[in-house]
Chains A and B, each alone.
Chain A
Amino acid sequence: MDKGLLAYLLIPLLSAVIIPFAARNRPKLADILANVTLLAGLANLAWLALRPSIIRGEFADIPGDGFSLLLVAAVYLVALCVTFFSAWFIEEGLPNRSAYYSLILVSVSAMCGVVTTTDFFTLYVFIEVLAVTSFALITTDESGAGLEGALKYFFLTFPASALIIIGIAVMLMSLGSLSFESLRFFMASDLPAGPVTFGAALMLLGFIIKAGVVPFHTWAPDAYQGAYAPVSAHLAGIVTKVSGVYAIIKMATLLRFFDGRAQALSEMLMFLGLLSIAVGALAALKQTNLKRMLAFSSISQVGYIVLAAGLGTPLAIMGAIFHLINHATFKTVLFLNSASVEKSAGTTDMDKLGGLEHTMPWTSWTSIVALLSTAGVPPLSGFWSKLIIILALWEAGLKGYAVLALLFSIVTLAYFMMMQKKVFFGKKTPAAESSPEVCAPLLAPVVLMSGLIVALGLLFPYFYVYVKMVAERILL
């Protein structure tokens, strides 16, 4: 455990315990406590990483490996957007506010645990805590759809946990220890890697299921579609990315894919990544429900991250980390916008929607920024991360993979343009006539995230220095 970042785990947990007692008779207090906790954490993180002296020193004084810090910041940012949005989104009485915020804060602290841990067993523990809070959060509004999504999530993540345990057992037997460092040293040595790689492969399989990579993706669209609207932003934006994709990137760096000792695993991961990109993008083309389409798009974007992690060269790891952060920003915007559309027009069925740009201009424009970033249009942040990933593939001599990744980036643009046309452009439908723009507090998180997308794209050189430092530290 990285001790410097332990406070970011403990304070939300404390707050989660306090909220049900403090807010028993004053439901508004739950909103305030949750938001203040997360905002204070974010301010603290900004001071830690963005002081002028740190920026001038090219981020060399960052504690830990920098990767944890970056992800803790992403977790806090997405969770803050979600809680701020929920404070105005939740209707009176339903659901139980204090339980909802407690669960969000517990999931934040579990995610901080996942990203700061330094051994596989603690990783497993925190991932389970995260999974349990996710089941409860998906069923927040107690609808049939939410229950169905949660059950499907449950029946796929539980076997994944069993596979991770078996992987831990094999690793305990062949390596004798479960810390990340011992695996890194082992892979750097000349000892035969067979059993250790087998254990790592079992664990990777578990993480792949939890990340929703293609042959095991079936839970993801159901869980995201069925979940309570702000919760789907929380889940798609950060929860499944931390519980699955973060662990995959971490394993990729620990197994040292770039020096070719786990060649088979690396190739397998790259193939599954490309398959996810293709299947996610093609399935998203023919969806009629907005949230379900965004879920398939999320699967497709996870594919890019897994593809880059499977390649494992420093440049590719950089691209994977950068795309992980970008994914958190643009997918949060899109899912929160779908929640706004649901609140205002009462449906997320794209065939019933149309012409919302006249009545909901802010929602429409922030969606455009986010979707252009997802599709990789310069100068938005998504362009740089995809560029790095494709460059890394080209540099490694995998020209076929690079070309296909580029082609499916165009498909991404196609399905998002169709979505934008059906929902926001065109003629007004009956559902759109009576749907006013949502109130300003609901727009604030979305506008903040869109600003961040533009800022990350324009201030790319600074961010590049940071991500380069992270990739060098975690690969050494």
Chain B
Amino acid sequence: MSNFAMEWYLIAIIVFTGFYCMLASRSIVRQLIGLEIVSKGAMLAVISAGALTGNLVFAQALVLTMIVIEVVVVAAGLALLVKNFRVHGSADIWKLDGLKG
């Protein structure tokens, strides 16, 4: 098996671990951690693609930008989590059912 196939095997495992983490946990914080794992797998995919096509410099630039963006998105998400905990007093995703119809 080539190096490359191993990398993508690993990426698939990481991404599905993340999605499983999201599916299996009730806590919003754990769900966010699951999302983080998914997005780390995605970034690994970009680096692997760059390495394979000899485009590593380009891929590194992309991944650096993605990390910066992700920091902003996660900061916004954590702010939402904290605010939600203050308003509702719980971090349980199944208790977020105020809006229905």
Contact = CB atoms under 8 A, between A and B. Distances in A.
Contacts of B99: 145, 148-149, 221-222, 225-226, 292
A353 to B, nearest CB: 16
A151 interface: yes
A172 B98 contact: no
Contacts of B96: 148, 151-152
Interface string B8-29: 0000000100010010000010
Contacts of A128: 69, 72-73
Interface of B: 15, 19, 22, 28, 31, 35, 38-39, 41-43, 45-46, 48-50, 52-53, 55, 58-59, 62, 65-66, 69, 72-73, 76-77, 80-81, 83-84, 87-88, 96, 98-99, 101
A158 interface: yes
Given A148-B96, A148-B99, A289-B101, A158 B46 contact: no
Interface of A: 121, 124-125, 128-129, 131-132, 135-136, 139, 142, 144-145, 147-152, 154-155, 158-159, 161-163, 165-166, 168-170, 172-173, 176, 221-222, 225-226, 287-289, 292
A278 to B, nearest CB: 18
B55 to A, nearest CB: 7
A151 B92 CA distance: 12
B53 A172 contact: yes
A292 B101 CA distance: 8
A159 B49 contact: no
A165 B98 contact: no
B10 to A, nearest CB: 13
Given A172-B50, A221-B99, A150 B35 contact: no
A169 B73 contact: no
A244 to B, nearest CB: 17
A142 B35 CA distance: 25
Contact of B38 (A125, A148, A162, A226): A162
A1 to B, nearest CB: 15
A151 B80 contact: yes
Given A125-B65, A169-B48, A158 B76 contact: no
Contacts of B80: 135, 139, 147, 150-151, 154
B101 A288 contact: yes
Residue in B53, B80, B99 with the greatest tally of chain A CB atoms within 10 Å: B99
Contact of B101 (A125, A145, A165, A287): A287
B37 to A, nearest CB: 10
A225 B101 CA distance: 11
Closest 10 CB pairs of A and B: A169-B45, A165-B42, A173-B49, A169-B49, A169-B46, A172-B49, A162-B42, A222-B99, A162-B38, A162-B39
Contacts of A159: 19, 22, 35, 38
A176 B53 contact: yes
Residue in A129, A135, A145, A166 with the greatest tally of chain B CB atoms within 10 Å: A166
A132 B28 CA distance: 18
Nearest to A289: B101
A144 B80 CA distance: 11
Contacts of B46: 165, 168-169, 172
Contacts of B19: 159
